[in-house]
Amino acid sequence: MADAPFRRSPLFHRPPIQGEAGALRIEEQPFVGKFILRADPDAAVEPLRAALGLGLPFDPLTSSALGDTAFLWLGPDEWMLVTAPADAADRAATVRRAVSGFHHQLVDVGDYYTIIEVAGPKAREALMKLTSLDLHPRAFTPGMVTGSVFGRANATIWLPAGSAGEERFRLLIRWSIADYLWCLVAHAGREWGVPEQVPVKGETLTVG
């Protein structure tokens, strides 16, 4: 019944799609736990390792992961903590305790961003239609993460390490433009049979 709280992800209206023979598969990963952590790495790394058993990635464009929990390097003093939906609150609390001793910022951005997962043998080729990043296997390796421009939108791309078997790229995209990016990725996949996806439109913009 309507009273019970329900959640909606920004791509609620977009069931997974794929190209022929799974050449390219596109799917939203809703409600994944996401937090921005700002802190001095030198101060934060040990307490976090102790608390989570997970170190902060120091090197640009890298990530560290333990099970479903991962830290993504976003900047020299900025990371994204990514967790399984169910663990979000616990992990955040753990981190907050660990860094409480010194100047930091931990912000829940779980609903700010959603994740579009792009997988399949053509994933790299398709994404190269959106970004000027070099996604050649030699250049963009598992574990790497970085922000870039995708079409006309900024997003963060992350290739989780050791995703056994095939690679599953994850695009972290803001709620309000997730639908645009979804359709853009789909467009990139047209040549491999991904069905056309038309952005939500049809709003009345002019008053008669």
Partner 1 sequence: MFLIRCPWCGERDIAEFAHGGEAHIARPEDSEELPDSEWAGYLFLRTNPKGVIAERWNHQAGCRRWFNMLRNTATDDILAVYKVGEPRPEVSANLPATPSGEAAIGSGNDAAKVMAPGERGGPVA
Partner 2 sequence: MQRYNVVSLIREGLRGHAGWQPAWRFPEPKASYDAVIIGGGGHGLATAYYLAKEHGLRDIAVIEKGWIGGGNSGRNTTVIRSNYLNDESAAIYQHALDLWKTLGRELDYNIMMSHRGVLNLAHDEGEARQLKRRVEANRLNGVDSEWLEPEDVKEFCPPISISPAARYPVIGATLQRSGGTNRHDAVVWGYARAADSMGVDIIQQCEVTNIVVEGGAVTGVETTRGKISTRRVGCVTAGHTSVIAAMLGLKLPIESHPLQALVSEPVKPILPCVVMSNAVHVYVSQSDKGELVIGAGIDPYVSYTQRGSLDIIEHQMAALVELFPVFARLRMMRQWGGIVDVCPDASPIISDTPVGGFFINGGWGTGGWKATPASGHAFADLVARGEPNAIAAPFTLERFTTGALVAEHGAAAVAH
Partner 3 sequence: MSKHGYRLPRGGLIDRTRTLRFSFGRQTFDAHPGDTLASALLANGEHMVARSFKYHRPRGILSAGSEEPAALVEIGADRARSDPNTRVTEQEIFEGLKARPQNCWPTLGFDIGALNDVIAPFIPAGFYYKTFKGWPGWMAFEPLVRRAAGLGRAPALPDPDRYEAVNRHCDVLVIGGGPAGMMAALAAGRAGARVMLCEETAALGGTLLSRDPEMLSVDGKAPAEWVAAIRAELESMPDVAILTRATAFGYYSHNFVGVWERVSDHLSPATVPQRMPRQRLWRVRAKEVVLAAGSIERPLVFHENDRPGIMLAGSVRTYMHRYGVLPGRRIVVATNNDSGWDAALDMARAGGEVAAVIDLRSEMAPTHLTEAARRGIAIYGNATIVGTEGRNRISRVAVRPLTRRGGSSRPVEIECDLLAVAGGWAPNVALFAQSRGKLRYDEQIEAFRPGRSWQHERSAGAANGFFGMAECFAEGARAGADAARAAGLDPKPLAIPTVPASGQIGQGPIRVIPELPSNRPKHKIRAFIDLQDDVTTKDLGLAVKEGYRSVEHAKRYTTSGMGTDQGKVANLNAFGFLASVRGEAIPAIGTTTFRQPYKPVTFAALAGQHVGDLFAPRRTTAMHDWHRAHGAVFEPVGDWLRARAYLKEGESFHAAVQREARAARATIGVLDASTLGKVDVRGPDAREFLNRVYTNAWLKLAPGKARYGLMLGEDGMVMDDGVTACLADDHFHMTTTTGGAARVLGKLEDYLQTEWPDLKVYLTSVTEEWAVVSLCGPECHKLVSDLCDGLDADPEKFPFMTLRDAHVGGVPVRVFRISFTGELSYEINIKASYGLWLWQQVMEKGAQYGVTPYGTEAMHLLRAEKGFIIVGQETDGTVNPLDLGLIGMVKMKGDFIGRRSLFRPDSMRDDRRELVGLLTSDPNMVLMEGAQVIGGEAESEPPVPMLGWVASSYFSPNLGRSIAMALVKGGRKRTGEQLWVSRRDGAPVAVMVTATDFLAAREKADG
Q: Which residues contribute to the site for partner 3 (CB under 8 A)?
A: 2-10, 30-31, 36, 38, 77, 103-105, 107-112, 128-129, 131-134, 136, 138-139, 151-153, 174-177, 179-181, 183-184, 187-188, 190-193, 198-208
Q: Which is nearer to partner 3, 162 or 206 (CB)?
A: 206
Place of tokens 């934060």: 44
| 3-state SS, residue 34 | strand
Find the shortest distance in angstroms from Cβ 78 to partner 1.
7
Binding to partner 2 by residue 202, rule CB under 8 A?
yes
Binding to partner 2 by residue 205, rule CB under 8 A?
yes
Instruction: Let me know how long the chain is.
Output: 208
Binding site for partner 1 (CB under 8 A): 60-61, 74-76, 78, 132-133, 146-149, 154
123 alpha-carbon distance from chain centroid: 15
Find the shortest distance in angstroms from Cβ 11 to partner 2.
20
Q: Are 57 and 64 in contact (CB under 8 A)?
A: yes
d(CA 86, CA 33): 8
Nearest to 47 by CA among 2, 104, 130: 104
d(CA 95, CA 192): 43
Rounded to 5°, angle at Cα 30 from 32 and 133: 80
Find the shortest distance in angstroms from Cβ 73 to partner 1.
8
- How far CA 113 is from CA of 29, 31, 99, 173, 179, in Å, comes to 10, 9, 23, 5, 12
Binding to partner 2 by residue 137, rule CB under 8 A?
no
- Per CB under 8 A, the segment of 15-23, 84-92, 159-167, 197-205 that binds partner 2 is 197-205
Q: Which is nearer to partner 1, 132 or 204 (CB)?
A: 132
Q: Which is nearer to partner 3, 138 or 162 (CB)?
A: 138
Q: Which is nearer to partner 2, 92 or 186 (CB)?
A: 186
Binding site for partner 2 (CB under 8 A): 201-202, 204-206
